[in-house]
Structure 1
Amino acid sequence: MGGDSAPSTVPPLTAPGHGNGLLDVFRSRYLLNLLVQKELKVRYRGSVLGILWSYVKPGMQFVVFYIALGVFLGLEQSPTNRSGMPNYAIYLFSGIALINFFTEALGNAARSVVGNSGLIQKIYLPRQLFPVASVWVSAVHFLPQVVILAFVCLLNGWHPTISQVAVAVAAFIMVALLATGLGLFFGAVNVYFRDAENFVDMLLLVATWASPVLYSWEMVHNKLGPAWFAVYQVNPLSVAVEAFHLAFWYPTTAETVAMVPNLLSVWAPVGMAISLLVLFLGQMVFRRLEGRFAQEL
């Protein structure tokens, strides 16, 4: 009839606890910023050194590995040891900085959902915010280390170019994507099976040694041969670390040092593709499991 109003449109029902994944994280940038600030404040509450503790660990790692490998095992090139690596200290620190970003990001992201169980049980907000915030906090710790690395490289004759900076940024993005994808996966699985934390700890223990952080890629190539070395290079961490070496360490070497064959033309695109695939799979698993987070926690 003419006096009747048009029927109201009823929005479709959606399952509770499900969102739009990482798109919700982008839309909730303000909440992400708050979570990052909260995590930084809670982590260093009551600490004398505060955020400086994030540099004590890589600093101690660098000193221990440099003395053990560079000095005692002769990986540092010197007038009496021409078979060592030139500027091994820069080679070592550039790898440690990047791999520590990965280990911190993944370790914290895998525990982030369980660690924020009280907040998850009280209100609904995009749950992907917690692993992503953990990666951002790790990036906050990582970037000043890169500044120190760049300063030391400048003192050793580094003249940065746009291509070198682009390679370094691409390596960082590759590791960040990988850490986020694995963090989403293990963060969700950890809600149901707390053994996931122990598995992540073992994975992080292997990460430093499974990439050319402490040794050169030529050692791996000479021991394994071309076929197995190709398998070794499928690891995005290996590609990212070597790309970091290409950006920072390689320009400081007075001698010509061989780099990984096809690093930028083949392995870098492969590593980026694998990191994106891990991110997609991690996000898919997270979205499938997040519906019962509040009940399981």
Structure 2
Amino acid sequence: MRDTSVLNDPDYSTPGASRGLFDVFRYWHLLSLLVKKGVATRYHGSVLGWIWSYVRPAAQFLMYYLVIGVIMGGHKDTPLYPVYLFAGIVAVNLFSEALRNTTGSVVDNRSLIKKIYLPRELFPVSAIGVALIHFLPQAVLLLIVALLCGLTISWLQILFFVLGVVMILMFALGLGLFFGAVNVAYRDARNFVDLILMFATWASPVLYSWSMVHERAPEWLFHIYMSNPMTGAVELFHEAFWNPLVPKAGHLPTLDVYVSIGFAISLVTLIIGQLVFRKLEGSFAQNL
């Protein structure tokens, strides 16, 4: 006769059964190990190491500032343009690294997936953690620059910053779950992500202000543009670091509406990404 006592044990769970992202909360220790591994291997064998976390955004800033700000005169229409530009670059860099890391997270950990079972969502979430850790030096540098320009920190600015980071990570995780799952069977997913990231800087107010889009684009297109989660996140970064320095520059009156829409889109993206990930994860081992 079959013994069902084990099956009735509340601590028993069927091997391979997963509750998706909710399982991540049960494996904090394993998640921390994956994050430490990702951080340790990021600059393994590199001479400069963590200095690259500063070199890349600095190089981007210099390139965009010289071309857009000086040669094309972008700094004339935007007060304290260097702070405005750098705040946008830092936000987009977080999105770029988070999405790129999550897209390749499953394939990059193929050796673990083939050998043992663990919630597959741990890999994209740990990739988000690695991106967040590498984002912190850039955020600190942005804060120092803003403080040198006269910024006074308030709780509202901290809230804007946190909301911007949360929106970026939620949106990136949703896209990363989707493309990360697809990437296991079709490596074209990474190329598609590269196309998204190529447009990310230009599709949000990083090099220019939202008012330029408002003046030149049809109203319906402007609403779509402002509903982009990255546009809302970049504007939250501007509200945290740039707008307090130039109060006469003007604020977007309906920013709260667009930020709410951006969060809603990010949440829907996260749900869709999780559903697709759950649908495809059963074939990860055989496709890897």
- Paired letter, 2:130: V
**Structure 1 contact 16–291 (Cα < 8 Å) conserved:** no
3-state secondary structure, aligned to 2:25 = helix
The offset of 1:9, in angstroms, is: 5.9
Contact 2:213 2:222 in 1 (8 A): yes
Q: CA deviation at 1:54?
A: 2.0
Which residue of 2 is the match for residue 268 of structure 1?
Answer: 259
Are positions 1:277 and 2:268 aligned together? yes
1:83-122 matches, within 5 Å, as 84-122=77-115
Q: How does 1:59-78 map to 2 (within 5 A)?
A: 59-77=58-76
C-alpha deviation, 1:207, in angstroms: 0.8
The one of 209, 228, 239 aligned to 1:246: 239
SS of corresponding position for 1:261 = coil
Asked if the contact 1:114/1:190 (under 8 Å) is kept, the reply is: yes
Contact 2:95 2:168 in 1 (8 A): yes
User: Shift of the alpha carbon at 1:8?
Assistant: 3.0
Please state if 1:10 is matched with 2:18.
no
Correspondence for 1:201: 194
Once the two structures are superposed, what CA deviation does each residue of 1:187-212 show, in whole Å capped at 9, x if it has no partner? Answer: 11111111111111111111111000
Cα pair 1:171 1:244 within 8 Å, conserved = yes
> Does structure 2 conserve the Cα–Cα contact (< 8 Å) formed by 1:62 and 1:93?
yes
Quick one: structure 1 residues 209 and 18, their matched pair in 2 at CA, closer, same or farther if it must change by over 3 Å?
A: farther
Q: 1:111 aligns to what SS in structure 2? A: helix
Distance 1:15 1:184 in 2: 23
Query: Do the aligned residues in 2 keep the contact of 1:17 with 1:292 (CA within 8 Å)?
Result: no
One-letter amino acid of the structure 1 residue matched with residue 99 of structure 2: L
Q: Superposed, which structure 2 residues align to 1:166-181 within 5 Å?
A: 166-181=159-174
Q: Which residue of 1 aligns with 2:30?
A: 31
Unaligned runs of 5+ in 1: 1-5, 78-83
> In the alignment, what sits opposite 2:251?
259
Match 1:218 to one of 204, 211, 214: 211
One-letter code of the match for 1:10? L
* CA distances 1:12-67 after superposition (whole Å, capped 9, x unpaired): 99875441111111111111111111111112111111122122111100000001
Structure 2 SS opposite 1:76:
helix
Identity within the alignment, %: 51
1:217 maps to a residue whose letter is W
Asked if the contact 1:18/1:290 (under 8 Å) is kept, the reply is no
Change in 2 beyond 3 A, CA 1:16/1:196: farther
Supply the distance in 1 between the matched residues of 2:204 and 2:109 (Cα, whole angstroms). Answer: 32
Q: Whole-Å Cα distance in 2 between the matches of residues 121 and 182 of structure 1? A: 24
- Count of aligned positions: 284
Q: 5+ unaligned residues in a row in structure 2: which ranges? A: none
Please give the alpha-carbon distance, in whole angstroms, between the structure 1 residues aligned to 2:91 and 2:166. Answer: 11
Query: Aligned Cα RMSD in Å?
Result: 1.7
Distance 1:8 1:137, change over 3 A: closer
Deviations 1:124-146 (A, max 9, x none): 11111111111111100112211
Q: Which amino acid aligns with 2:166?
A: I
* Counterpart in the other structure of 2:118: 125
Structure 1 CA distance for aligned equivalents of residues 28 and 228 of structure 2:
31
Is contact 2:227–2:259 with CA below 8 Å preserved after alignment? no
Equivalent-residue separation in structure 2 for 1:8 and 1:280 (angstroms): 36
Q: CA deviation at 1:116?
A: 0.8
Give the alignment's TM-score, normalised by structure 1. Answer: 0.91
